[in-house]
Amino acid sequence: MAATDFFDLLLQNIYQTTLIEVIAVVFGLLSVWYSMKVNILVYPTGIVSVLIYVYICYIAGLYADMGINAVYFVMSVYGWYNWTRPHNDKSILSVTYATKKQNFIALSSTIASFFLIRYILVAYTDSNVPEIDAFTTAVFLIGMWLMAIKKVENWIYWIIGDIVSIPLYFYKGLVFTSFQYSVFLILAIIGYIAWRKEAVRD
């Protein structure tokens, strides 16, 4: 793609961006920032963002991403509760590394989710990016679970998913969302480093 074609596409996508997408991006960025800081506000800000993205992804034909944002809402409620629930005589849940069993569950669940979601997208939707949509959805789904139980490894899943999501959302004409995932990637790397420092090994 020539440089002029790229900038023409960029400007076209910016013009198509809606205020609701900008709001979703702002709250999404706040959510990741609070997550990086291990701050409970990760959940209320995230809930606002994911509810908006349910609508945005439906309009863009990213059906798996639409579904995962609905799951994010449920997981956010669970995570909000879990982070504030006492564990082992502590007032809050501590950041820890995942056990070998948890890592195995996470990896195998990612693979199984990918094939299941891809099948659903191919068989029941008109998605033109079923493999990529299924991959990012599977990766983010497990990343959300690992974050809800405060495992350092959640950031690895977010980093992988962010790298793939940047060109995906740009391709779908959601330029601000693509930019959001670029920032997410940077914050996820910083978050991974920060959580490693704070982690207490099981």
Answer whether residue 2 is part of any domain. Answer: no
113 within a domain of the structure (yes/no) = yes
How far does CA 190 lie from the centroid of its chain?
15
- DSSP readout, 10-28? HHHHHHH--HHHHHHHHHH
As a whole-number percent, the residues of the chain with pLDDT over 70 amount to 87
Domain-located, residue 149: yes
Q: Give me the torsion for CA of 10, 16, 21, 23, rounded to 10°.
A: 90
Distance CA 180, CA 22 (A): 10
Domain total of the chain: 1
Residue 155 burial (CB count, 10 A): 24
Q: What is the pLDDT of residue 62?
A: 77
**12 found inside a domain:** no
C-alpha to C-alpha distance for 62 and 133, rounded to whole angstroms: 7
Contact 194, 41 (CB under 8 A): no
E strand or H helix at 198, and its extent?
Answer: helix 175-198
Q: Which of 171-175, 183-187, 193-197 has the lowest mean pLDDT?
A: 171-175
Q: 32-36, 59-63, 134-138: which range is least confident on average?
A: 59-63
Q: What is the pLDDT of residues 7-22, one digit of tens each?
A: 555 455 544 457 788 8
Q: What is the pLDDT of residue 82?
A: 81
- Residue 126: is its pLDDT beyond 70? yes
34 domain-assigned:
yes
- Could you tell me the pTM of the whole model? 0.75
Q: Find the domain containing 72 and state its range.
A: 19-85+96-198
Q: Express each pLDDT in 79-121 by its tens digit.
A: 888 887 756 656 677 889 999 999 999 999 999 999 999 999 8
Please state which of the ranges 3-17, 63-77, 116-130, 164-178 shows the lowest mean pLDDT: 3-17
Residue pair 181/160 in contact (Cβ under 8 Å)? The answer is no
Rounded average pLDDT over 138-153: 92
Residue 91 lies in a domain: no
Q: Is the residue at 180 inside a domain? A: yes
User: Is 155 in contact with 195 (CB distance < 8 Å)?
Assistant: yes
